[in-house]
Chains A and B, each alone.
Chain A
Amino acid sequence: TQLLEQSPQFLSIQEGENLTVYCNSSSVFSSLQWYRQEPGEGPVLLVTVVTGGEVKKLKRLTFQFGDARKDSSLHITAAQPGDTGLYLCAGEVTGGGNKLTFGTGTQLKVEL
């Protein structure tokens, strides 16, 4: 059973469009992270959210942690080809002993 489900699994859009990626679970998470992974490389941390309802912005990326800490979203405004990559959410289940559970991933392709 996958604790963290991401949707959509694949997303192909044109440069300049907006998009939202979702990360959902039936479990409560103490914290949640978002990573971006490019082909042939390891994931790179984008953001960490720890408080229910928290919103963080990183340039054109907006991250939100759900009020109940069971879900999160990543919104990209005016996507660029450089945003192409695999986006992964990862969370620590409450009481999970600092172990991260990774989501299933969203593969994003932004075309000119």
Chain B
Amino acid sequence: NAGVTQTPKFQVLKTGQSMTLQCAQDMNHEYMSWYRQDPGMGLRLIHYSVGAGITDQGEVPNGYNVSRSTTEDFPLRLLSAAPSQTSVYFCASSSTGTATDTQYFGPGTRLTVL
């Protein structure tokens, strides 16, 4: 199993550009989520999904869109990138989505918005 995979590994955007961060998991997990990690602030939840066709907002959803058409994939879209979205983005998945469940994280995407 590859676990949770993310592409690209690094990305540089100009303000106003759009892009999609890809996330895929091969563990048949129902729960998937996106976090951003900024220095001194830990990880903050952007959006999450409890199954195909179901998504919801996390702590910091503004400027991001998600969709979940399949169990395996959970892409994160930035419609109009802003410098404040410079961060490291992590996708995670777990079997049930309960807080005591093991979350498996991808290797991250480092995004810079100029």
A residues apposed to B, CB below 8 Å: 2, 4, 9, 30-31, 33, 40-45, 48, 50, 88, 90-92, 96, 98-100, 102-105
Contact = CB atoms under 8 A, between A and B. Distances in A.
B23 to A, nearest CB: 11
B92 A103 contact: no
A42 B45 contact: no
Nearest to A91: B99
Given A2-B41, A4-B42, A104-B42, A98 B108 contact: no
A36 to B, nearest CB: 11
Given A31-B99, A50-B100, A105 B105 contact: no
Contacts of B59: 99
In the A-B complex, the 6 residue pairs with the closest CB atoms: A42-B105, A92-B99, A102-B42, A102-B43, A31-B100, A98-B99
B77 interface: no
Interface in B32-89: 35, 40-45, 48, 58-59
Interface of B: 4, 35, 40-45, 48, 58-59, 90, 92, 97-100, 102-103, 105-108
> Interface centre among B35, B42, B58, by most A CB within 10 Å?
B42
Given A41-B108, A102-B42, A104-B42, 10 more contacts: A2-B41, A30-B99, A42-B105, A42-B108, A43-B43, A43-B90, A48-B100, A88-B43, A99-B58, A102-B43
A99 B43 contact: no
Contacts of B98: 98
Contact of B107 (A40, A48, A50): A40
Contact of A42 (B44, B48, B90): B90
A43 B107 contact: no
A101 to B, nearest CB: 8
A27 to B, nearest CB: 13
